[in-house]
Structure 1
Amino acid sequence: MAFAAILPCIATKRPAPASMKPASFPLPPDLVDEQVMLLAVQRAAFDYFMEQVNPANGLVRDKDKHGWPASIAAVGLALTSYGVGVERGWLARDDAVERTLATLRFFAGSEQGDSPAATGHKGFYYHFLDMDNGRRAWNCELSSIDTALLIAGVLAAAAYFNGAGKDELEIRALADFLYRRVDWQWMRARCQLLRHGWKPETGFLRKCWRGYDEALILYVLALGSPTFPVERASYDAWTDSFEWKSVYGIDYLYAGSLFIHQMSHAWLDLHGIQDDFMRAHALDYFENSRRATLVQQRYALDNPLGFPGYGEHCWGISASDGPGPATQQSHGVRRCFRDYAGRGAPYGIDDGTLAPWAVAAALPFAPEIVLPALAQQHDIFHARSTVFVTKQGPRWVSPYRFGINDGPVLLMLDNHLHDFPWRLMRGNTYLRDGLVKAGFAGEWLAEQ
């Protein structure tokens, strides 16, 4: 994630208010600095989707490495980012319409079927697709969660492009077609829980979405489907598998990787609304993500494995790239380093690799600890990526940027500054229906 030279070195003094928007009057110096910093971070994240796209079909590269395939999750984030780009003045609306139409037309017209060379099956799509022809890459799985992230972006595009012109009408028609085509019931495969995926060679993957994870958006979309919805029992089976923990005196619904507490929130405004699980704990998922963010900082302060550099402003463990696989001496300790892995804290993989992008994406939840961390880690944002490992000698920094890192940063910062993606999606009937069917109630869901 190249936050490069446009990010100034500043010392943030206090968090920006969640409702802060660009103003026409002078702001106090500390708020000016914060706004400059956050807009720079946003713009750099947005640029990923401008640079790593095939304009002919809308596919977005998983990471900025030559020859790398597209990620359908990155496409969903890109579709949402185009509206943000228009709103912030970074992209002309006509250009955003053109990009969006190319993407939706490709997915609507691409091959669906059980052929190993197809693009998708039953309305789902393969995790990775060839950037040029859009066919399955790397013999990967038909992915339930990545399809959900794609469809979230499809629905965001439909919500944003609400004009009466023929192109924007086509966007909404294609988006509705793509959502209605997904056979969520089929992905259960005679189970209550949704499966991780399917392969034409071997059938359904053994793993199901069990335990608190990024699948909240998946279950909400599956419940809200007007064509192939899953039953409420599927959602209840998922929440029945949750683990409630107390860590550092903080009680919360546990998941170790920080991205889990962010990904669904990029589209779902979970302020003040509760399902049965959260209602029983007098909490909501937004506050839960705040607590998970605080736990991450506390873990870095505790630093049980003794990594150099961890501390108040140096934290953030998530699924990320890494310097491995390798075993090296680090400050007199022999350490095993991973490559891309699902790191987590306080339980899970910790090899000294931190993901400042995940800190940035936590901004809406805990600005009072995120803003100082972003200011302190400006040197990382000047590098090619916001993933690094604290080890002996010069620290390793990933040479790559990833669409699934830049996307949540862009959207979560915009939610914090402008409430834009959340406001857009609060008006989506399908998401509202899915939330209500999952048992959510309160605040904005009660509004007609």
Structure 2
Amino acid sequence: MRSRGTAASDTPVLSRRRFVVLGVGALGVAATAAITSADSRRVDGGAPGDLDAEARPLVSQEVDKSIRWLWDFANRDAATTGFGLVRDRDDSAWVASTAATGFALAAYCIGVDRGVLDRRAVVKRVRGALRTIEQTVPHRSGAVMHFVVPTSGLAARNSEYSTIDTALLLNGAVVAAAYLADPEITERTDRLLRRADWLAYQRITTDARYLRMAWSDRTRAYVGTWNMSAEQLVLYLLVAGHPDVPPEIARALYAGFRRPIGEYGGHRCVYEPGGTLFTYQYPHAFFPYHRYCDGDGVDWAANARSATLANRAWCADNADQHPAFASGLWGSSASDGPFGYTVNGASPSAATPRNDGTIAPYSLMGALMTTPAEAGEALLRLRRSFPDAWGPYGFADAVNVVDGRPWVAASRLGIDKGLSAIAGAAALGSTLVHDSFAAHPWIARGRDVLGYRLV
């Protein structure tokens, strides 16, 4: 679920989210067999040689500036009960995002490794953030509130208890616990992992088990179901790693979501209903799918590469309709747009993709994990074509061309800067996040339960 919209408005946050589940047909796990050899080239998103030398300095700058954004736009007041929470966006001082906080916890570790942040300061910040999450941020059966007030840590208006945002938060905590090796961080992370009662968020039908997206106190009901292939892929590792979740149930939940196969421009993949790019990127930011195939032999890294190349091809084929594409840019995803928040997609998708021509720079940073050469080239084009999109904190959230003039989003978002930092560092050769996440005992157990094996 993308973090968009201001929780202080009268319109429920949920209405601005990606909760609409399109009918895509239940193909089942067996249908993914065709994707095991999709786009036959193996992917290693962190291979330094894959990113063109000309693009490396730009990517390096964006990584460091993204880390700095995540550091500067967190609650730095240790005397408050919201210490360590990261803003949803820089133009909204009254809303923090638990998902952005999770991305930040991992990005801070990259900052230490790159010499951008001081290790002692990071340990203090991470300890405080996890203390805030454990003691102050509301949760329901371990699923945390998505939007919270950064000063207090209490629920922002119209927010929801979200499984995917909880997963993104826990992912960052796992990385920090493994990398920083600090006893307090390790213990708090373990308690937060154990606190998550994933079985409370099951939806059981006559033929499948699914995880639910969220619970809303406002409506007193569950909201949405993860019954499609999307950004929740890594969530199943957390579920399967939980000692209170029977392995057979963990495997049934993993098998439950639909896996429709489509093709565009010769690139075949299991697709997300809206064809939006971030859904293929979030899981790969944390778990090294390029090193594994799952128990059914599915190569999710190759799948993400094919989906990314299809997105690129679709944008090129629609350049006559969208001027930003005409300059060789691509990367259709969820972002701010000239006319408000938009979830842009590309084929393959369940229906004709919605697209207003907006380019999200973070989606190109995320694409570095699977298509480093192509994404690096596009980032250089972006920097040249939209100079106003670059600032002290790196790229803006989105760009477009409206009435023949460049349009640049006014704000930057925490989840977008988080993905940019992690994916960009991986493209530059860092294996810190992947190694730390995969080595954590909880994730290793989940990997084994789901039958993941090295390739």
Q: TM-score per shorter chain, which class? A: 0.7 to 0.9
Q: TM-score, normalised by structure 1?
A: 0.82
Corresponding residue for residue 196 of structure 1: 213
Corresponding residue for residue 428 of structure 1: 440
Question: Does 1:376 pair with 2:393?
Answer: no
Q: Equivalences for 1:182-331 in 2 at 5 Å?
A: 182-190=196-204, 192-228=209-245, 230-238=249-257, 241-255=258-272, 256-277=275-296, 279=297, 284-303=299-318, 306-311=321-326, 313-324=328-339
Distance (Å, rounded) in 2 between the aligned partners of 1:400 and 1:38: 20
Could you tell me how far 1:208 is from its partner in structure 2? 0.5
Distance (Å, rounded) in 2 between the aligned partners of 1:178 and 1:123: 7
Question: Does 1:110 pair with 2:136?
Answer: yes
Distance (Å, rounded) in 1 between the aligned partners of 2:295 and 2:92: 46
Distance (Å, rounded) in 1 between the aligned partners of 2:212 and 2:242: 17
SS in 2 for 1:389: strand
- Any conservation in 2 of the 1:189–1:195 contact (CA below 8 Å)? yes
Corresponding residue for residue 165 of structure 2: 146
Corresponding residue for residue 125 of structure 2: 99
Distance change in 2, residues 1:351/1:19 (3 Å): closer
SS in 1 for 2:368: coil
Distance (Å, rounded) in 1 between the aligned partners of 2:398 and 2:378: 14
CA displacement 1:81-121 (0-9 Å, x = unmatched): 1110000001111001000010111112126xxxxxxx212
Aligned with residue 78 of structure 1, among 104, 128, 140:
104
CA displacement 1:171-200 (0-9 Å, x = unmatched): 111110111011000011555201011122
The one-letter amino acid paired with 1:440 is Y
The one-letter amino acid paired with 2:106 is T
SS in 1 for 2:243: coil
Distance change in 2, residues 1:50/1:427 (3 Å): same
Corresponding residue for residue 177 of structure 2: 158
Corresponding residue for residue 333 of structure 1: none
- Any conservation in 2 of the 1:193–1:237 contact (CA below 8 Å)? yes
Q: Equivalences for 1:118-129 in 2 at 5 Å?
A: 119-129=138-148
Could you tell me how far 1:372 is from its partner in structure 2? 1.1
SS in 2 for 1:390: strand
- Any conservation in 1 of the 2:45–2:290 contact (CA below 8 Å)? no
CA displacement 1:299-355 (0-9 Å, x = unmatched): 11110761123147311100111121xxxxxxxxxxxxxx21221102421011111
Could you tell me how far 1:50 is from its partner in structure 2? 1.3
Could you tell me how far 1:218 is from its partner in structure 2? 1.3
Distance (Å, rounded) in 2 between the aligned partners of 1:304 and 1:376: 15
Structure 1 window deviating more from structure 2 (431-440 vs 180-189): it is 431-440
Corresponding residue for residue 365 of structure 1: 370
Distance change in 2, residues 1:430/1:300 (3 Å): same
Corresponding residue for residue 20 of structure 1: 48
Corresponding residue for residue 407 of structure 1: 418
Q: TM-score, normalised by structure 2?
A: 0.81
Distance (Å, rounded) in 2 between the aligned partners of 1:36 and 1:341: 30
SS in 2 for 1:91: coil
- Any conservation in 1 of the 2:264–2:314 contact (CA below 8 Å)? no
Structure 1 window deviating more from structure 2 (189-198 vs 405-414): it is 189-198
Could you tell me how far 1:43 is from its partner in structure 2? 0.8
- The percent identity for this pair of structures is 31
Distance (Å, rounded) in 1 between the aligned partners of 2:243 and 2:136: 22
Corresponding residue for residue 174 of structure 1: 188
Distance change in 2, residues 1:305/1:351 (3 Å): farther
Any stretches of 5+ residues in structure 1 without a counterpart?
Answer: 1-15, 22-29, 112-118, 163-167, 325-338, 444-448
Which is higher, the Rg of structure 1 or of structure 2? 1
The one-letter amino acid paired with 1:411 is I
Aligned with residue 399 of structure 2, among 353, 373, 388:
388
Corresponding residue for residue 87 of structure 1: 113
Q: How many residues align?
A: 387
- Any conservation in 2 of the 1:300–1:312 contact (CA below 8 Å)? no
Could you tell me how far 1:226 is from its partner in structure 2? 2.0
SS in 2 for 1:353: coil
Structure 1: 4+ residue segments shifted above 4 A: none
Corresponding residue for residue 135 of structure 1: 154
